Amino acid sequence: MMRDEGWKKTIGNLHRSAAAFIKWVMLGSAVGSIVGVMGVLFHFSVEWATEMRQQHSWLLFLLPLGGVAIALLYRQTGMEKDMGTNTILEAVRGEHPLRLRTAPLIFVSTVITHLFGGSSGREGAALQIGGSMGARLADWINLDQKEHQMMIMCGMSSCFAALFGTPLTATIFAIEVISVGEMYYAALLPCITGALIGYGLAAVFHIPPTAFAISGVPHLGLASVGQVILLSILCALLSIIFCWAMHAASKAYAKVFPNRLLRAACGGLIVVAMSLLIGTSDFNGAGMQVIQRAMQGEADWYAFWFKLLLTALTLGAGFKGGEIVPTFFVGATFGCVVGPLLGMDPSFAAAVGLVALFCGVINCPVASFTLSVELFGGEGVIFFGIASVIGYMLSGYSGLYHGQKIIYSKLEPQMIDVHCD
């Protein structure tokens, strides 16, 4: 009798698992298809804006007007107090509702920022576009609160993968970044389904995945491990400075320019003035070409400081986009410059710097490790694992997103449940 009941329970569990599998593959596919198309369109729009700015350098002088336009867009749509990616993270935990208007607003605002030369990335926009669209789809098909949260993460993964061509990282990042130390494993299936479809759609439109060829990867040994540890420690400290600069700039702007329109205009003027003083356009936009040069072992000693400064000045003033690609820039150029002082190959050091700093600012060691594999291939994975661990542990409780929660201590197996500094 007990054996029969055991079989019935097993069969019932299999039935529920099969039903859930079919359901989430279908929902993940739907989200991936819709959000993936939007991600592809967003990619081409940002690329167009970048090409236009590079062809017409005078567009930089319109950055203050672009900032005012963004501020007006958010004011007129009732989204003036929108917290960007923080809103998405809180929505996954059920703390904040999402509006569909978030997607077109961040789409247009990020394109404006890149068109006129603000120093910004695009992943923040990807998370907001995907998350808000996933939430709206969940509303339309009347899913419950828990399923609603999974749809948001699925949307985040789909758009991230379509933009960066890193489906595994997109999957892990979406479920790891919400609450550090607590991963939403139930969302793995919809997230990877959506990410693969977003990635596939990007491939259909001939959008190459983000990847870098690096050289000088050393053999595993005491000296090479020591070098990676030292560089990773420095990157962890730099990640604290990076996060502090992003938050401090935003607070300083708000204090000096309480009016958001004036803040955007003055912030744009400051970025224009700084760009003219520096005398190069390398720090405007995302700066992917500088990251590529760093991976080839070439970087100016001052590059990481100027990128950090201009990104803080741009995003703090109210321009849109994201901090992750600027993090890639800062980490890669810092590693390329400092690594040789530690006896490392500059190309390899740039890759280590990118991974360690990325992990330090987002507090996601697993996603950082998978990112290293998708960006650089399988060679040297142990070194990137070391960089991820050190970047995570020694960055303290700082982070790019105040909406991110640290559930478990980084130093001991203890629940602390605090927001990032």
Per-residue pLDDT, averaged over 175-202, amounts to 93
In this prediction, residue 6 has a pLDDT band, given cuts at 50, 70 and 90, of low
Q: Which tens digit of pLDDT belongs to each residue from 372-381?
A: 999 999 889 9
pLDDT value at residue 280: 92
Q: Say if residue 2's pLDDT is above 60.
A: no
Q: How does pLDDT run across 262-282, given as a tens digit for each residue?
A: 999 999 999 999 999 999 999
pLDDT for the residue 264 = 97
Residue 417 parent element (H or E): strand 415-419
What are the residue ranges spanned by the domains of the chain?
A: 2-204, 222-419
For the purposes of burial, counting CB atoms within 10 Å of the CB of 105, is it exposed (0-12), middle (13-18) or buried (19 or more)? buried
For residue 169, give both structure tokens. 């990282």
Contact of 99 with 46, CB cutoff 8 Å: no
Q: Which residues contact 126 (CB under 8 A, 6 or more apart)?
A: 39, 42, 156, 159, 160, 162, 163, 164, 322
What is 222-419's CATH superfamily?
Answer: Clc chloride channel (1.10.3080.10)
- DSSP assigned state of 283: T
Contact 165, 202 (CB under 8 A): yes
Report the chain's mean pLDDT, rounded to a whole number.
93
Do 222-419 and 2-204 fall under one CATH topology? yes
CATH superfamily membership of 2-204:
Clc chloride channel (1.10.3080.10)
pLDDT over threshold 70, residue 4? no
pLDDT of 17 reads 87
pLDDT digits (tens, 9 = 90+) for 66-119: 999 999 999 999 988 888 888 888 888 877 788 888 899 999 999 999 999 999
pLDDT tens readout for residues 209-250: 999 999 999 999 999 999 999 999 999 999 999 999 999 999
